Amino acid sequence: MAERDLDGWTIAFDLDGTLVETAADLIGTLNRMLAARGIAQMPVEAAQHLVGHGALALLRHGFQEAGAVWEDAQAPALLQEFLDDYLANIAVHSQPYEGVVETLDRLAARGAILCVATNKRTDLSVALIEALGLGRHFAVVCGPDRVSARKPDGAHVREAVQMAGGDPTRSIMVGDGAPDVQAAKNAGVPCVVVTFGYTPIPAAELGGDVLIDRFAELEAAVGRLIAAQ
């Protein structure tokens, strides 16, 4: 394999369900809020499909699916309660998926610029990434608050790549859910879909360009996409 053969390419990563297995901590916060209101908790497996559209969507749909009262007027206070609890427990169970660190190191060694485009707020994303020691890999971490429009809008991918110093016409998105694939399509960027994330729609039906079952398959997938350009 040629050295630095990915010079000039940028890879934008989704965070939850793609780089890091975060569902247990996110659902843990949801469950503590439900318990505080006398509502039965949700098993992580039953609730993890809620991850990927940001904290407010997880909270609203989690409350509704658990049978808790949801009033939009209460949303700001409930969201603040969620964010405070989650930040205090951000990496209790959360771990990078197997192969993430090694693969990111190899992609960087081959010259790729790496960045994060997530619907998790930037401060929480940075806190998680730093807690797991992943910060050195990324030129920039872009939550929805750092871009003009969040995934599935293509601006999230385009602007994250540009902030990283990359070129959106020479970039690849890697994600686990519909917001990622749609954002990539809207940005005109090819998309690798991981099958181990949190999508309620089967990963194979999301419309991505390449599917991978393990993170270690990413290098080969990137090579295939670039060869097909």
Contact between 157 and 182 under an 8 Å Cβ cutoff? The reply is no
**Total chain residues near ligand PGA (CB under 6 A):** 14
Residue recorded with tokens 């005109």: 188
14 binds ligand PGA (CB under 6 A): yes
- Per DSSP bridges, beta strands 191-194 and 20-21 are unpaired
154 binds ligand PGA (CB under 6 A): no
- Residues in Cβ contact with 71 at an 8 Å cutoff, skipping those fewer than 6 apart: none
Among 49, 53, 137, 146, binds ligand PGA (CB under 6 A): 53
Residue recorded with tokens 């951000």: 90
52 binds ligand PGA (CB under 6 A): yes
119 binds ligand PGA (CB under 6 A): yes
To the question of whether residue 176 is assigned a binding role by annotation, the answer is yes
CB of 109 to ligand PGA, least distance (A): 25
In angstroms, the CA 32 to CA 58 distance is 14
15 binds ligand PGA (CB under 6 A): yes
Among 27, 30, 34, 51, binds ligand PGA (CB under 6 A): 51
To the question of whether residue 14 is assigned a binding role by annotation, the answer is yes
Q: Which is nearer to Mg ion, 190 or 197 (CB)?
A: 197
17 binds Mg ion (CB under 5 A): yes
Ranges assigned E (strand) in 86-220: 95-96, 113-117, 140-142, 171-175, 191-194, 210-212
59 binds ligand PGA (CB under 6 A): no
Contact between 119 and 103 under an 8 Å Cβ cutoff? The reply is no
Where along the sequence are the contacts to ligand PGA (CB under 6 A)? 14-17, 51-55, 58, 118-120, 177
